[in-house]
Amino acid sequence: MLMLDILRKLVQDVDNAPNLLAALDVIVQSVRDALNTEVCSIYLLDERSNRYVLMATHGLNPNAVGNVSLGFSEGLVGLVGQREELINLEDAASHPRFHYLPETGEDRYNSFLGVPIMNRRKVLGVLVVQQQEKRRFGESEEAFLVTLSAQISGVVAHARALGQLENLHAPKGGVASPRIFHGVAGASGIAIGRAVVIYPPADLESVPDRVTEDPANELQQFNQALMGVRNEIQQLDTKMATSLMPEERALFEVYLRMLDDNALPAEVIERIHAGNWAQGALRSVIDEHMQSFAAMDDPYLRERMADVRDLGRRLLAHLQQQTTPNRDFPESSILIGEDISTATLVDMPLENIAAIVTMTGAANSHMAIVARALGIPTVVGVSELPVGNLDDAEMIVDAYQSRVYVHPSRELRKRYKEIIKEERQLVAGLDAYRDLPAETPDGHRMTLYVNTGLMADVARGRERGAEGVGLYRSEIPFMLRDRFPSEEEQRNIYRQQLSAFAPYPVTMRMLDIGGDKDLPYFPIDEVNPALGWRGIRITLDHPEIFMVQMRAMLKAAIGLNNLQILLPMISSVFEIEEAQHLLLRAVSEVQEEEKVTIQTPKLGIMIEVPSALIQIKDLASIVDFVSVGSNDLTQYLLAVDRNNSRVADLYTPYHPAVLRALQYVVTEAHAVGKPVGICGEMAGDPGTAILLMAMGFDSLGMSASNLLKVRKVLRTIPLTNAKELLNEVLAIDNAAVIRSMVELELNKLGLWDLVRPTQKPVGGKVPA
């Protein structure tokens, strides 16, 4: 059998194993047979004792499994782990690091090949094969073990995340071990509390089919359940009326539409008439929809699939007379779930919810958007989270660093309590900066804008002295609906934004979808969406969508004249010229319809892709202003998807290429007399904001939560100092060193807490 076939079968057998120990046993037996050798063993690293424990073997003494271990740097196994590379020896006993373990009976084996089992740069264990005859294992055998090690590392990492590798060599019991999980930040902040695991309200899968002798009674029960769920949804909508705008509560309208008599209920009633009891009829309808949606593999249908599942569970709960139990939600509850829907979230006592953590989801999911509007720290996409074992577990959620700590140590709890206390004091202290200009001690004035999407952003931005809107994310009202909003609906939404800040400018970005921002009703199925059909490419291909949005913006600005329009994902001059043509057409149409003179708004472009960066002078010369989208530009320059937890740590705005590119944009745009702003996380980070000011950016656009922090920093550091710092860092070739230099400078000014709230300098040194 070919090695590739052996690997495939082995990985399949491992996936089908009932538990980790069984999987390890499958591996050692299969490897021994595949390499025609006498011994195969797996040693796993016990983090608590810092020792490699023999966890599976075929060829050594089976009684040694779980009872024999080696120190972290002990023996050949320890050497493999230390070097993080394979070791191949034909006479292992002659090696100075050879360590004989009499309990294993390995003294008869001379040849040794050990390969580290690694996941995300961490050694999890060592895979070893041995043989009596002195033999140097061949290159194909080395390659086989390296490939297998990479394949099984995920299985071992998952077991460690579930706590199955805790204290392998020590007596069982005792205090639960602290664990760290990584995900993607959905809404920033820090919280300490106890986990409350959210399970579905009812288990549809367990409902059997059952012939009913009284269809009329089943129909009555179903109609009562239907009324109950409709009332639930309406109550949720009412509950959130003061917290979310109508467009942000559109999901509830979707739910009620699904519960219309001619939608899902009609199918259930038909099956009750056919003889099935209400619960079975409901389950069969939901099952049928779920299977159809899954088979189609369509993003829109996947979104609706989750809604159908949620409604099915709610209906079943009423049928079973199991409406949501009166669960205890103490103060500082941390909601945990595989996936928490928006409806489930807002059904909670929000005043007691400290944070949210989910296994699935994305930073721009509907739930994450609502969590941001409510100010609840959220981490999503924590795929290895052992949800079933977390109820009432003490946790720390650090959404600044996208980390979740389970069973944190006393020292860690103490540290984060201090951070939370200092954050509250900091926020209170920043109030003094609300009405002050962002002006440096040596008289340089910066313009600070707020970035908005939800109306909650508008209120907070105005409270904190924003001088306008640097970026209005117009896609958010589109994302919160199950259809394209009409021109009039868009006009009303845009008017609220424009009037809230008049006469200050409001920069509205044209619809920016695609990539990681799909609309559920406008699916885009691509192999590489980040480099695909997105932003201006979509709207220029669909001028009917572009024109409706442009007309709505122009109508919303009548009498206010503070609208600026921003084109996303620009990569060529042609795209700008085509958009300008459509803008002039829209102005002409609206003037004729409204019988008013329309002031043509300023038109700007976003610099997000490398082609626009290189051609910046050509592009800037034909528009009114330039705005850098720092999040996407950094992502494209570094080829890093910041929503991918595997590579998210490589995403850094302090990368020399990013900083030098930004300086180039400012220099080239100013050379043709065009103002340059920047929006994204860099503008709102106090550390990078200093560098951006020194580069010559005319404005910074950021989330409302960062306005006061950035204003305080800019009012503290003179422009001359900032320029000296910029000149120094532009000569550095290492992102970590650059970040340390910036933060040490801020630490000298007493501004450390504004920079990295979850990490403090120790002994004058900045932590990595």
- Pairing state of beta strands 69-71 and 51-58? antiparallel
Contacts of 342 (CB under 8 A, 6+ apart): 251, 366, 367, 370
> Which residue matches tokens 């030098």?
660
Q: Which of 58, 169, 318, 679 is catalytic?
A: 679
Q: CA-CA distance, 726 to 720, in Å (whole number)? A: 10
Q: CA-CA distance, 619 to 622, in Å (whole number)? A: 6
Identify the H or E element spanning 303: helix 299-319
Tell me if residue 407 is catalytic: no
Q: CA-CA distance, 715 to 712, in Å (whole number)? A: 5
Question: CA 248 → CA 179, 237, 453, 484, 491, distances in Å?
Answer: 36, 10, 10, 14, 16
Q: CA-CA distance, 138 to 154, in Å (whole number)? A: 26
In three-state secondary structure terms, 481 is: coil
Are 447 and 467 spatial neighbours (Cβ–Cβ below 8 Å)?
Answer: yes
Q: CA-CA distance, 117 to 52, in Å (whole number)? A: 12
Q: CA-CA distance, 592 to 74, in Å (whole number)? A: 84
Looking at residue 346, its amino acid is V
Residue 356's DSSP bridge partners are 335, 378
Token digits for 604? 């700007």
Q: CA-CA distance, 275 to 211, in Å (whole number)? A: 6
Tell me if residue 366 is catalytic: yes
Q: Which long-range contacts (CB under 8 A, 24 or more apart) does 441-444 make?
A: 441/715, 441/716, 441/717, 441/718, 442/718, 442/719, 442/720, 444/693, 444/719
Q: CA-CA distance, 231 to 226, in Å (whole number)? A: 9
Q: Which of 58, 289, 366, 655 is catalytic?
A: 366
E strand map for 541-645: 563-567, 602-607, 625-629
Q: CA-CA distance, 269 to 276, in Å (whole number)? A: 10
∠ Cα 295 300 301 (to 5°):
35
Are 469 and 461 spatial neighbours (Cβ–Cβ below 8 Å)?
Answer: yes
Residue 606's DSSP bridge partners are 627
Q: CA-CA distance, 632 to 614, in Å (whole number)? A: 15
In three-state secondary structure terms, 329 is: coil
Token digits for 403? 């980390």
Instruction: Give the 3-state secondary structure of 20-88.
Output: HHHHHHHHHHHHHHHCCCCEEEEEEEECCCCEEEEEEEECCCHHHCCCCEEECCCHHHHHHHHHCCCEE
Token digits for 538? 């979509």
Identify the H or E element spanning 549: helix 543-556
Token digits for 556? 């919303």
In three-state secondary structure terms, 755 is: helix
Task: Report the catalytic residues.
Answer: 366, 679
